[in-house]
Structure 1
Amino acid sequence: LGMEAVLIHPFSGLLSAYGIGLSSVFASRQQALLEPLAEESRAAIETLIAALRTDVVAELGEQGIAEDAVSTRPVLHIRYDGTDTALPVNFEHGSTFRARSDFEAAHKAQFGFVYDDKPIVVETVAVEGMETARQDKAEASAPARSAGVEVKPSESRRIYTEGRWREAGVYRRENLRPSNTVAGPALIIEPNQTIVVEPGWRAEITNLDHVVIRRMERKVRVAALGTEADPVMLEVFNNLFMSIAEQMGVTLQNTAYSVNIKERLDFSCAVFDRHGALVANAPHMPVHLGSMDRSVETIIRLNSGDIHPGDVFALNAPYNGGTHLPDITVVTPVFDDAREEILFWAASRGHHADVGGTAPGSMTPLATTVDEEGVLFDNFRIVDRGRFREKELETLLTDHPYPARNPVQNIADLKAQIAANEKGVAELRKMVAHFGLDVVEAYMGHVQDNAAESVRRVIERLPDSAAYEYPTDTGQVIRVKITVDRQKREATVDFTGTSPVMKNNFNAPEPVARAAVLYAFRVMVEDMIPMNAGCLRPINIVIPDGSMLKPAYPAAVVAGNVETSQHVTNALFGAMGAIANAQGTMNNLTFGNRKYQYYETICSGSPAGRMNSGRGFAGTSGVHTHMTNSRLTDPEVLELRFPVVLEDFHIREGSGGKGKWNAGDGTRRTIRFLEEMECAILSSHRNRPPQGLEGGGDGEAGSTKVRRNDGSVDVLKACDQTTLDAGEAVIVTTPTPGAFGKV
């Protein structure tokens, strides 16, 4: 961590009661204002501050604190007009001009952009008050003794530190006085804790009777921080890159507006090298992560020579780097300090609850062309040199034959994606400042090299040739053949023979099949490495033109991302003889009207299979598998945000495939509507059950039913759409996965 000193309080080993006792009493008051941030509003702001300060002082006075012992601080909660996010700004200076400047700086830091012409509003005025420091609460200083007083250890013990056993002096804390020093290696024994002083460090007792440990020997910078690959630093950088993506995800979750992104976590974040190759990702959605690099590469190709600091791009075009329309990818370049050269890229992809189309939720099973599925983002510059293009974005979302139903929500979620990218940009800059650009770029290459070598070791264990045929409910078939070139340590994954494009929306753009291949081989590695572009270096993917896995405009594609991706993954694991079929669907349920739009995927169980060592394993009940990794919305949030009641959601015990290693069990979910809603199901394995492997039993087929108010029950097709009246319910019974091995 690069720390040079550590402060240890005498009571740091205890609970927080001591700290609470020393803390100041705090009070705050706030009141809505909703006035423009302008000089004309300053009198109203100051009047409200004075009134709130009186209330704060009165509250503290009730707790026995005199007015002259209270310090107060006014805070303005400011936002752009028409937005939801208010940021706190200190107003002790009393200047509206400075408050505007501070707000814009905070907004730029959090979201990566500011507005040029949008009014700024003071939403709320707050006053915070606290008790000023009191002498009777301060920690007493101990009398200082002259420096250099030698304190002998009471005994010695052998401890293992820095790779070997060493003799360490043992010191009793009660025998140490201010200005005493203890050189490491040593142990300082206190009533509530033991302090270890490492070699090269020295502990000193301060006048407040605290222990300060300081580094006395300069930290040697290890050779591994050069550009040559080092096993230890490779693991460090693996985790650093993944940590950046995870922090991006936390930012996106915290700043998003829609239930789909904020609660279901249907998003993914990743970092890319300067060429757009995936370096690392957070453990988000595999179908996103394996295909996002195509989006980044498209942005690089289409905007070469016209990318500037402060630019951000958005894309969902299935035939130009995207997958399906609800998944919008936001891409941000990371420039060097001179703002001249692009070093890296940060990107986030979120599944938007509605981007238009013929049905609420943008997941209609009835679409036969991509234009019926919603609004197209094709290399849209969403932020231009730091200016958020809100008017142009709103026009894009609404100027369409089937426009977005809730553009305000789309815009809010896109802002959250921009903020997530900005977090990634900031963290990548910190990494470069700490390690140097040459080292960071070198290890971006090393982590991909390591992933490639890990996949090569998987390929070495595969048979020379293996094939698998996967029939689907639509009558289409996924055919895959994996052949191994042992001399080159490479594999060819050939989808020749897969069904052609059809007049449905199960067609999957090429990045989807590519994402499935990346995911499947990454799973086979069985080591903790990031899923990155290196995994695909030893793999040649063959997809014939005109295949359902390589469609051309204007073929519909919305199910390709969520359903066909699961079919391809099952086929790949079947060909490798590794895992039985999972449920082979995401059970995509959408419902809504002009006011509400909601989308969720419903889990089943995981299939049984075997590890590379040959050891079998059973499945797990009630979990998402393979290409999706989203959560379900909490029932309380679902029922608060939408006019529905979650009547039932349970695991169907005993429903998974049976074999030597049993599969996990599936689920059933019943949602009752309190308003009339359009409801659609986009699913698979309603006609045929997922298959077991090597003699393991098959799972069960799923079903979707509608319970009508007159007591009748409609059985929906695998891909169907209907209207439900208030009081009616949809019941989804998931398919269940296959088992592994004969009993």
Structure 2
Amino acid sequence: MTNKILTTDIDPVTLGVIAGSFSAIAKEMALVLYRMAYSSIIRESEDLGAGLFDPDGNELCESDSTPMHIGSLPGYIQGVRHFLGDNICDGDIILHNNPYYGASHTPDLAIIIPIFYEEELVGFAANTGHVLDAGGMSPGLMVDVVDVYAEGKHYNAVKLYSKGVKNEDMWRHIFENVRTPKENKGDVEAMIASAKLGKKRYIELLNRYGRKTIQAAEKRWMEYSEEMLRKEIEKIPDGVYKAPTGWLDDDGRNYGERLRIETSVKIEGSDLTVDLTGSSDQVETAYNVPFSGSTLPATYTIVRAILLDEANSDVFIPQNSGIFKPIKVVAPYGSIWNPKHPASCTARINQVQRLADQINLALSDVLPEKTTAGNSAHVHFNSYAGIKEESGDYWVYIEVNEGSYGGRNGKDGLDSVDNLVANTRNNPIEELEMRLPMRCTRYELRDEGAAAGKWRGGIGIIRTWEFLTDTLFTGEGDRHTDPPRGVFGGQDGLTGSMILNPDTEREQNLHAKLTNFKIRKGDILEIRTPCAAGYGDPFERSSEQVLEDILDDYLTIEKAEKVYGVVIREDLSVDLEKTSKIREKVSS
């Protein structure tokens, strides 16, 4: 198989039009996928990624969805090339999900369709989606797992279609060995439709502009993205910038034994290296992180978010593999960031969230206007499962609970939102209650208030579920012990919690990580996600903003005076004279 790269000159207008076409194709692929999908984790949460890739797996464009999905797809394609070599043919549709060969983690299935033009491989249309069940030892999610094989079925570049011919036996085998066959099959069929559309649109571009022009545009856009990131890296003084030591709660089996996170960022000219040396060794549960599929994409995502913030950029900078080239990650082999086979590594989302936040904190002193205070950097990623009495089939629901952003220079932190490398949507309660034997009795912002600062931290959520049947619960949580870090005098945030049957005689504080924990019919589960940290001295926050927080029930009058030095009268107006005296006394 030959992959000739043809080059030609290309004018800026054509280059821009092709770039817009790439972006539109990726977005259209994602729309097809989440609108056709069966499971709520894809259909509603949009836990997916889609895009186009060159023959070497370099990303050309990506959908506006979860960075962990799209950023891992170059690794998936490398995994496919490892298993198939040159045995990739026109008409193939390939399924892959091995976390030691590029996958983000086992339940993130990828569909990869090679694109041939004039009898040569010119690229791939690919996507990923998180399916409800992968056939492992636990329905939905799992933490306390003996090894990677117990996570579920691994599909090592399996051809669902070979040269256009459907492999019926393989389809039957795949979907007869999971707990949610209907949902999984519907999701995979949606992924195939999405990738087929990407292939079709790409060939249309080739027919319109010619292969030389398209490949020239691909090459130039990747070079441009790399150049723009390198320019931003070069603005940072050379040196090593270290984040405070971070701590994960535990590995989900050895409760209370915290796991160390060490993070430093080294700048050398236009090269940026994230060094995770000194972090915890790999653990005996699934609380490890696939290096290619998760550690690398999380790092790429946060570096781009900090240095090439689209909201503050005057020019369009496409997201593609050019962004990856200036960034290197050092993660010792055998650590939680780069585990040795066959260690399990399916429960990795909280660690990569913390990794992103640690990089953010490492750069806070040198880039105070581009970074935030400590974010919630956490996902209470939960699964609920049981048996349908009428059919004997499983029902499975996977839930992503929102976190919050830390305050940043000039802006308060965002409340109740996925942050950092997570980008999923919340599921509508009404839709869930129609389908599941669960009832949501509370879903709102936490009532403890926000972490104080010149710009306050964001507020996490509180959610309570009532269970209408016995349920198996698995939680991939963390941050019950290590609060988000305040910066430049801002307050630390609040840790999360999970409580079963709160305010009753049966109240039970739960660990953040549980596997197949039995919840009984009639039980209530309360989930609180962390509140992010504050940025800057609280006494520098304007009295008008403090009053607004009181009116929004984010802050009490008593706390306003104690923490912010702002005195509020009974008529809810600011006593400027008393406020001035308190603040002057503290600052003197």
- Structure with the larger strand share: 1
Amino acid at match of 2:302: A
User: Unmatched 5+ residue regions in structure 1?
Assistant: 1-225, 611-615
The offset of 1:694, in angstroms, is 2.4
Selected match of 1:279 from 46, 50, 60: 60
C-alpha separation in 1, matches of 2:500 and 2:460: 19
Greater shift, 525-534 or 246-255, is seen at 525-534
Matched, 1:655 2:431: no
1:183-202 matches, within 5 Å, as none
Amino acid at match of 1:470: G
Equivalent residue, structure 1, for 2:148: 370
Matched, 1:476 2:283: no
Q: Is the 8 A contact 2:112 2:126 kept in 1?
A: yes
Equivalent residue, structure 1, for 2:460: 666
Equivalent residue, structure 1, for 2:17: 236
Matched, 1:631 2:406: no
CA deviation vs aligned residue, 1:353-408 (integer Å, no higher than 9, x gap): 111222221x122223222222212221122122232431332454xxxx421123
Matched, 1:575 2:362: yes
The offset of 1:419, in angstroms, is 0.5
C-alpha separation in 2, matches of 1:643 and 1:709: 23
Selected match of 2:338 from 547, 550, 556: 550
The offset of 1:673, in angstroms, is 1.4
SS at match of 1:328: strand
C-alpha separation in 2, matches of 1:576 and 1:364: 33
Taking only aligned residues, the RMSD between alpha carbons, in angstroms, comes to 1.9
Q: Structure with the greater relative contact order (CA < 8 A, sep ≥ 6): 1 or 2? A: 2
The offset of 1:634, in angstroms, is 1.3
Matched, 1:677 2:471: yes
Equivalent residue, structure 2, for 1:293: 74
1:167-566 matches, within 5 Å, as 227-228=8-9, 230-336=11-117, 338=118, 340-361=119-140, 363-398=141-176, 403-464=177-238, 465-468=240-243, 469-474=245-250, 475-486=258-269, 489-511=270-292, 512-523=294-305, 524-526=307-309, 527=313, 528-560=316-348, 562-566=349-353
Q: Is the 8 A contact 1:394 1:407 kept in 2?
A: no
Equivalent residue, structure 2, for 1:742: 537
C-alpha separation in 2, matches of 1:228 and 1:522: 28
Cα gap change, 1:661/1:358 in structure 2, threshold over 3 Å: closer, same or farther?
Answer: same
CA deviation vs aligned residue, 1:483-502 (integer Å, no higher than 9, x gap): 2222xx22222222222111
Cα gap change, 1:648/1:444 in structure 2, threshold over 3 Å: closer, same or farther?
Answer: same
C-alpha separation in 2, matches of 1:268 and 1:653: 34
Greater shift, 296-305 or 446-455, is seen at 296-305
Selected match of 1:707 from 474, 483, 501: 501
C-alpha separation in 2, matches of 1:301 and 1:553: 16
SS at match of 1:493: strand
The offset of 1:432, in angstroms, is 1.2
Amino acid at match of 2:223: D
C-alpha separation in 1, matches of 2:406 and 2:165: 48
CA deviation vs aligned residue, 1:261-294 (integer Å, no higher than 9, x gap): 1122111111111211011101110111221110
Amino acid at match of 2:207: A
C-alpha separation in 2, matches of 1:672 and 1:356: 27
1:8-23 matches, within 5 Å, as none
SS at match of 1:540: strand
Cα gap change, 1:653/1:229 in structure 2, threshold over 3 Å: closer, same or farther?
Answer: farther
Equivalent residue, structure 2, for 1:200: none
Equivalent residue, structure 1, for 2:381: 588
The offset of 1:470, in angstroms, is 2.1
Amino acid at match of 1:741: G
C-alpha separation in 1, matches of 2:272 and 2:475: 37
C-alpha separation in 1, matches of 2:216 and 2:360: 33
The offset of 1:232, in angstroms, is 4.4
Amino acid at match of 1:666: G
User: Unmatched 5+ residue regions in structure 2?
Assistant: 1-6, 251-257, 365-370, 388-393, 539-588
The offset of 1:653, in angstroms, is 5.0
**TM-score, structure 2 as length reference:** 0.82
C-alpha separation in 2, matches of 1:229 and 1:482: 37
The offset of 1:555, in angstroms, is 1.0
C-alpha separation in 1, matches of 2:302 and 2:491: 22
Q: Is the 8 A contact 1:315 1:321 kept in 2?
A: no
CA deviation vs aligned residue, 1:408-443 (integer Å, no higher than 9, x gap): 321221111011000101111111122211111111
The offset of 1:504, in angstroms, is 2.4
Q: Is the 8 A contact 1:448 1:533 kept in 2?
A: yes
CA deviation vs aligned residue, 1:655-703 (integer Å, no higher than 9, x gap): 3322111111111111111111101211111112111222221110000
CA deviation vs aligned residue, 1:217-272 (integer Å, no higher than 9, x gap): xxxxxxxxx94355544443332211101100111122211122112211111111
Q: Is the 8 A contact 1:270 1:348 kept in 2?
A: yes
SS at match of 1:228: coil
SS at match of 1:617: coil
The offset of 1:617, in angstroms, is 2.5
C-alpha separation in 2, matches of 1:573 and 1:326: 28
Q: Is the 8 A contact 2:10 2:213 kept in 1?
A: no
C-alpha separation in 2, matches of 1:559 and 1:456: 33
C-alpha separation in 1, matches of 2:447 and 2:231: 38
SS at match of 2:99: coil
C-alpha separation in 2, matches of 1:388 and 1:582: 46
C-alpha separation in 2, matches of 1:231 and 1:546: 47
SS at match of 1:559: coil
Q: Is the 8 A contact 2:66 2:422 kept in 1?
A: yes
Equivalent residue, structure 1, for 2:545: none
Equivalent residue, structure 2, for 1:190: none
Amino acid at match of 1:598: Y
Amino acid at match of 1:423: L
Matched, 1:732 2:527: yes
Equivalent residue, structure 2, for 1:113: none
Amino acid at match of 1:574: L
CA deviation vs aligned residue, 1:487-540 (integer Å, no higher than 9, x gap): xx2222222222211112221011211101110121121234232210121222
C-alpha separation in 1, matches of 2:411 and 2:9: 39
- Identity of paired residues, percent? 27
Cα gap change, 1:622/1:258 in structure 2, threshold over 3 Å: closer, same or farther?
Answer: same
Cα gap change, 1:358/1:302 in structure 2, threshold over 3 Å: closer, same or farther?
Answer: closer
The offset of 1:636, in angstroms, is 1.7
